[in-house]
A = this chain, B = another copy of it.
Amino acid sequence: MTYTRSEENCLKAIFTITEQGEHGGSTTAIAAQLRTKASSVTEMVKRLSEKGLVDHKPYHGVLLTEPGNRIATRVIRRHRLWETFLVNHLNFRWDEVHDLAEQLEHIDSDELHDRLDKFMDHPKFDPHGDPIPDKDGRMIDMAGALPLAEVPKDTLVHIVGVKDSSPAFLKLLDGLGLKLGTQLTVNRRFEYDNSVEVSSRFRNGLLLNEQVSRNLTVKPL
C-alpha cells in the first residue's frame, strides 16, 4: 500500500493532536494543523475512513486505527531521520531542516529509511529532542519531561526538547544561548505574566516569557 502526501500529512496531524491529550482530533483542529480548511478535512477524513485508517465519530473527533497509527508513526520516523541526517551530516542548522523534512518524509521506501537509520547508527533523538521511532514504531518514551513553564523553583533541569520547531523560535533560543542539554534552574516566577527567570552556567537572570517556557521541554536532573 502506498499513500498520498495529503493522506500521510493528515494521519500525521491526527497523531500529533491526539498525542497531545485531545480525545479525538476535531475537523477544525486537523484543519488548523494542516493549514487547510475544515471542509477539505471532511473529505480527506472520509477517504481515510473508507480505507480503514481512521475512525470518525462526527462531532466527537477522529481517531487513528491501528493501521493508521502505524502509517503516521512511520511518517514521523522518516521526518525525524531526515532532520537528523540534515543536521548531523549536511551541516544544516536545527532551524533549517523542518520544511525539507516535510518533503523528504514522503519518499516511498522502507529500505531507504532503514538504511539511512543504519548509516547514522540508529539515532534515538532528532535535532529538536524528539524521539525517533525505530522500524517497528517503538521509540523512547519521554516520561519525566515537562514544559519549563511547569518546573518548580530551584530545581535543576536540562533542556531535552522543543515543542515548536519553527525557525523563529529556534533562532530565539540560539540567540539566548539555549540548546539541547543546557542546564537551567528557575530562580523566580512572575504571576503577572507567567514569565520565569532562569539561570544557567553561562547566564544569570534570564527572563523568559510564557510562550517560550511552554515550548521548552526539560527534565529534572
CA of A91 to CA of B114 in the docked complex: distance in angstroms?
A: 12
The residue on B at minimum CB distance from A106 is B103
The number of residues on chain A lying at the interface, defined by a beta carbon within 8 Å of a beta carbon of chain B, is 15
The residue on B at minimum CB distance from A118 is B90
Asked if A104 is an interface residue, CB under 8 A from chain B, the answer is yes
The residue on B at minimum CB distance from A103 is B107
Q: Return the contact of A116 from the options B90, B108, B112 (Cβ within 8 A).
A: B90
CA of A116 to CA of B90 in the docked complex: distance in angstroms?
A: 7
The residue on B at minimum CB distance from A86 is B112
Asked if A89 is an interface residue, CB under 8 A from chain B, the answer is yes
Q: Mark A96-115, 1 if CB is under 8 A from B, else 0.
A: 00001001100111001001
**Do A115 and B100 touch (CB < 8 A)?**
no
Asked if A190 is an interface residue, CB under 8 A from chain B, the answer is no
CA of A156 to CA of B157 in the docked complex: distance in angstroms?
A: 70
Q: Closest CB-CB distance, A1 to chain B, in whole Å? A: 16
User: Quick one: given A115-B92, A116-B90, are A107 and B104 in contact (CB under 8 Å)?
Assistant: yes
**Do B103 and A90 touch (CB < 8 A)?**
no
Asked if A119 is an interface residue, CB under 8 A from chain B, the answer is yes
Q: Return the contact of A103 from the options B91, B108, B119 (Cβ within 8 A).
A: B108
The residue on B at minimum CB distance from A119 is B90
Q: Closest CB-CB distance, A84 to chain B, in whole Å? A: 14
Q: Which residues from chain B contact A86 at a C-beta distance below 8 Å?
A: 112
Residues of A within 8 A of B (CB): 86, 89-92, 100, 103-104, 107-109, 112, 115-116, 119
Given A90-B116, A90-B119, A103-B108: 12 more A-B contacts, CB < 8 Å: A86-B112, A89-B119, A90-B112, A90-B115, A91-B115, A92-B115, A100-B107, A100-B109, A100-B112, A103-B107, A103-B109, A104-B107
15 A–B contact pairs at CB < 8 A?
A: A86-B112, A89-B119, A90-B112, A90-B115, A90-B116, A90-B119, A91-B115, A92-B115, A100-B107, A100-B109, A100-B112, A103-B107, A103-B108, A103-B109, A104-B107
